[in-house]
A and B are shown apart, each in its own frame.
Chain A
Amino acid sequence: MGRIKRQRGFLTIAQNSGDIDYLKMAYALGISIRNSQMAVPYLSVIISKDMIIPDKYREVFDEVIELSWDDATNSSWKIDNKWKIIFISPYEETIFLDCDMLFPTNIDTWWNTLSDRDIWFSTSPRTYRGGVIKNSAYREAFRINGLPNIYTTFMYFKQNEIVFKIAEVVKNIMHNWENLKNYYNYRNIPNDGHQGEWTHFINNFPDVMSGDFAYALALKTLGIDNLYGNEELFPSFVHMKVLDQNLTKTYDDDWTKIVPHSIKDDMSFLVGNHLQYRPFHYVTKNFITDELLYKLENFNA
């Protein structure tokens, strides 16, 4: 278990990959949290070992936590370390966030409700218009396998035994991803003597590792999906996956090319002329422009 620095805080992972600067996104998130949150304006970031962090970034982060070992060394989409967040968070109560998020408003009041549970995943993300995303185009694997529709994009957890247990199972799933996938596939090889036999209950195990899938599978495996995986309207965040926005025209994966948006100097954030007030998962990796960063840095509440 990591060093506990304070009672409550936000945590994210930022491991740069290719030309995607996740650290810059985490920095923007940190400023956004500092600008909007009164009681808990703290964001810690988990980074790769020996990652270089600019001084101005360090000033924004409550803690910078280097991974002592990196499960994602050979991965382009660095999800593999997501099980570790439970063990290395510096907070008694943590809200884990994907780093490609911004906070338009203060969610101080959420903490007391969240602390009613050991762990609390979002299960009902929203469109930018505020509607609940149901039957997400990206969640077929969850539906066909009866997995809880959880999103680790916004995930609350405490430091206790049940949460550690969940994290251990997630670790095992992530460490054995290829085996889990291939074991099933193996059993589908014609004439191997076991064709048609199920080795586990997962139909079409995803090729690409997914943190959400791993956590959902952990809950199901432990038989606690009914405790921690029910679909509820709280907590929620805006999830800007294009196919889930209830748009007729989806000619680009990048929603910023389809939906008009603006962030004013007072940080009021309009997307499709809808004022955003929930935590905002912008998804598109080039959203944090220098102009936006300048506004965030120079916002004076």
Chain B
Amino acid sequence: MNGILLFAHDNDVLNYGELTYNCALMCKFHLKLPIALVVDESTWDKLCESKTKANDLFHEIIIVSAPSDNCRKHSGTIAGVHPYFNLSRLSAYELSPFEKTLVLDSDVIVVNDYFGQDFNINGHIVIDNKIKNLDFQPNLDNINLFVGDNSIPLYWATRFMFDKSAESCNFFKLAQYVYEKYEHYSKIYGYKISPIRVDVIFSIAAHMNQGYIDTSEYRNAGSTIHPFTSSLLWAWDDNLLLNVDNNSVEFHVGYGDDNQIIKTGHNVHCMNKLNLLSHSKHIESVYG
């Protein structure tokens, strides 16, 4: 059985439970796949109190402790250093109840069924190391391309897929090892040790798994790592979400003479979570 795995751990400033709930609504509408939720008890209780349909929405609820010891610096209205509970994704392989699993960040806006095609990819681990902005142009900032300026490609754990195979199992074991040696690898690969990023962990694991070669240009049947076929566009912190409906999403981008409205029927990773949360009720009304 194929399925979607989502994660939700509230912190002191962001209601990840609500973000994930909305993401699940959109996934269920468009992808019609079972959705499993990895969540801590507190976040789940809070979600059940506010969303009466929460229990019915998810195929399976997997209660875990919120992974601790990680913080992230936020800017804007929630400026400051806050807990960052992202590390339970490293256990996705063990936690997922599905044969083939698509993991999505809870701030992914799903407005079509394109992700469904990715389940046909003949690869054990599916993850992207190149991303596109809302205007479909590749994002060429080194900070978004590489783990460190002179270092290896950055694979984005915003969206990844895996099957229940020995290759995938080994990949996650390698990722766990990299996590345990995160500080050591920071000296080799040139990244900051805080916050601990699953993107960086997966990037190092993918790079080692592929023999320390970037194989982006020539995947073959023997590669463990494959890119996605469907697109996921990136909306950055300063791209303002204007509207979500059942087949498109609209953003305001740019400043001054460069500002424009972009409406797209592609799925979007909305980095500005507070902005996304402000549309929560509307998303629920469209997809609920």
Chain B hits for A258, CB < 8 A: 150
Residue-wise interface mask of A (276-301) relative to B, using a CB-CB cutoff of 8 A (1 in contact, 0 not):
01000000000000000000000000
Chain A hits for B152, CB < 8 A: 129, 272-274
- Inter-subunit contact B149/A249 (CB<8 Å): yes
Which residues 198-223 in B have Cβ within 8 Å of A in the complex? Answer: 207, 211-214, 216-217
Chain B hits for A274, CB < 8 A: 152, 212-214
CA of A272 to CA of B150 in the docked complex: distance in angstroms? 6
Among B143, B153, B188, contact of A129 (Cβ-Cβ < 8 Å): B153
Majority DSSP secondary structure for residues of A touching B: loop
- Inter-subunit contact B207/A248 (CB<8 Å): no
Give me 12 A-to-B residue pairs in the complex whose CB atoms sit less than 8 angstroms apart, sorted by A's number: A129-B153, A130-B216, A247-B150, A249-B150, A258-B150, A260-B190, A272-B152, A273-B152, A273-B207, A274-B152, A274-B212, A275-B211
Q: Does B142 contact A (CB under 8 A)?
A: yes
CA of A272 to CA of B214 in the docked complex: distance in angstroms? 12
Chain A hits for B211, CB < 8 A: 275
CA of A259 to CA of B190 in the docked complex: distance in angstroms? 10
Report the minimum CB–CB distance from A146 to chain B (whole Å): 26
Q: Does A270 contact B (CB under 8 A)?
A: yes
Nearest 9 interchain pairs by C-beta: A275-B212, A259-B150, A248-B142, A130-B214, A272-B150, A248-B149, A275-B213, A249-B149, A273-B152
CA of A270 to CA of B213 in the docked complex: distance in angstroms? 10
Q: Does A246 contact B (CB under 8 A)?
A: yes
* Chain A residues packing against B (C-beta within 8 Å): 129-131, 245-249, 258-260, 270, 272-275, 277
Interface centre among B150, B189, B214, B216 (most CB of A within 10 A): B150
CA of A273 to CA of B191 in the docked complex: distance in angstroms? 13
Which residues 213-269 in B have Cβ within 8 Å of A in the complex? Answer: 213-214, 216-217
- Inter-subunit contact A246/B213 (CB<8 Å): no
Chain A hits for B212, CB < 8 A: 270, 273-275
* Chain B residues packing against A (C-beta within 8 Å): 142-143, 145, 149-153, 188-190, 207, 211-214, 216-217
CA of A272 to CA of B151 in the docked complex: distance in angstroms? 5
CA of A273 to CA of B217 in the docked complex: distance in angstroms? 18
Report the minimum CB–CB distance from B212 to chain A (whole Å): 4
In the complex, the chain A residue whose C-beta lies closest to that of B143 is A248
CA of A260 to CA of B213 in the docked complex: distance in angstroms? 15
Report the minimum CB–CB distance from A135 to chain B (whole Å): 13
Chain B hits for A249, CB < 8 A: 149-150
- Inter-subunit contact B149/A273 (CB<8 Å): no
- Inter-subunit contact B213/A130 (CB<8 Å): yes
CA of A85 to CA of B127 in the docked complex: distance in angstroms? 48
CA of A260 to CA of B153 in the docked complex: distance in angstroms? 15
- Inter-subunit contact A273/B213 (CB<8 Å): no
- Inter-subunit contact B207/A247 (CB<8 Å): no
CA of A246 to CA of B148 in the docked complex: distance in angstroms? 12
Chain A hits for B150, CB < 8 A: 245, 247, 249, 258-260, 272
Report the minimum CB–CB distance from A175 to chain B (whole Å): 41
CA of A130 to CA of B216 in the docked complex: distance in angstroms? 9
CA of A130 to CA of B210 in the docked complex: distance in angstroms? 13
- Inter-subunit contact A247/B151 (CB<8 Å): no
Among B142, B143, B153, B189, contact of A247 (Cβ-Cβ < 8 Å): B142
- Inter-subunit contact A273/B151 (CB<8 Å): yes
Chain A hits for B207, CB < 8 A: 273
